[in-house]
Amino acid sequence: MFFFHFGEYILLLKKIFKKPEKWKIYWREILHEMNEIGVGSVGLIIIISTFIGAVMTMQIAFQLVSDLIPNSVIGQINRDSNILELGPTISALVLMGKVGSSISSQIGSMRVTEQIDALEIMGINAAGYLILPKIIAGVIMVPVLVTIAIFCALIGGLFGGSLTGAVSSSDYIMGIRESFNGFTVAVAMVKAFVYGFIITSVPAYKGFFVRGGALEVGQAGTKAVVVGCIVILASDYLITALML
């Protein structure tokens, strides 16, 4: 079963990356999808990552009780864990729930109402027209969202730490500036790029091949989110193992 779906997914990708009929139309769709996927998710990402940053700071402070460790280490740990893991991966999991289910239901509904058949009858590469703009928008906008998420988590950590007295603002800021390794940001961006591809292509695959009616469209949305989350976590492990 795994190999069947994997093979079908690869064949779908092959169709998606065929030369577009008219770039102008695709470009319009890409801008639309960038707005849907990116701008439409900014609020959610800001709220979630700010709280995660604040909570992380408090929990790190709670665990680092030794007088031998300076308080600035709290900022350092918060920075690195947000850049390397929490920023990209939590954002990706949240986006998979929000954007992934929407993509799967949108394409699935088009399939069961014969809109995809209509596109194919017109001589349009339905897979390319419907999915390529989403993938391009995803790989552009998810890194942007992840950057925003990391920034908000660091700001959240600053407020969370100082408001609860877990770490002073000056110690925290000193910590996030100390021994910064720029390569961690590169790892985060690679993860964000890959997640952007997964968040758009896996649900699109599930929606594109749905058969039946409204019930099956709903089921495909659920499956898309579950499978997508697993693929995100597996690729998180792979990228971390390869790059760090």
Partner 1 sequence: MIEVQDIHKSFGDNKVLEGIDAVFEPGRVSLIIGGSGSGKSTLLKCIVGLHKPDQGRVFFDDQEFTKMDFEEKVPIRKEIGMLFQNSALFDSMTVEQNIIFTLDMFSDMSRKEKIERANFCLERVNLTKTNKLYPAELSGGMKKRVGIARAISMNPKYLFCDEPNSGLDPATAILIDELVQDLTDEFQCTTIVVTHDMNSVMGIGDYIMFLYQGQKFWEGTKDDILRSDTKELNDFVFASPLMKAAREVIK
Q: Which residues bind partner 1 (CB under 8 A)?
A: 21-22, 25, 109-110, 113-115, 117-118, 120-125
Least distance in Å: CB of 157 to partner 1?
40
Least distance in Å: CB of 12 to partner 1?
13
Least distance in Å: CB of 102 to partner 1?
13
Closest to partner 1 by CB, 82 or 200: 200
Closest to partner 1 by CB, 2 or 24: 24
- DSSP output for 62-108: HH---TTS-THHHHHHHHHHIIIIIIIIIHHHHHIIIIIHHHHHHHH
Give the start-end residues of each E strand in the chain: none
Cβ(23)–Cβ(128) below 8 Å: no
Closest to partner 1 by CB, 43 or 123: 123
Cβ(148)–Cβ(46) below 8 Å: yes
Distance from C-alpha of 196 to C-alpha of 95, rounded to nearest angstrom = 9
Which residue in 240, 129, 147, 142 sits closest to 199, CA to CA? 142
Closest to partner 1 by CB, 4 or 65: 4
Closest to partner 1 by CB, 106 or 201: 106
Least distance in Å: CB of 26 to partner 1?
10
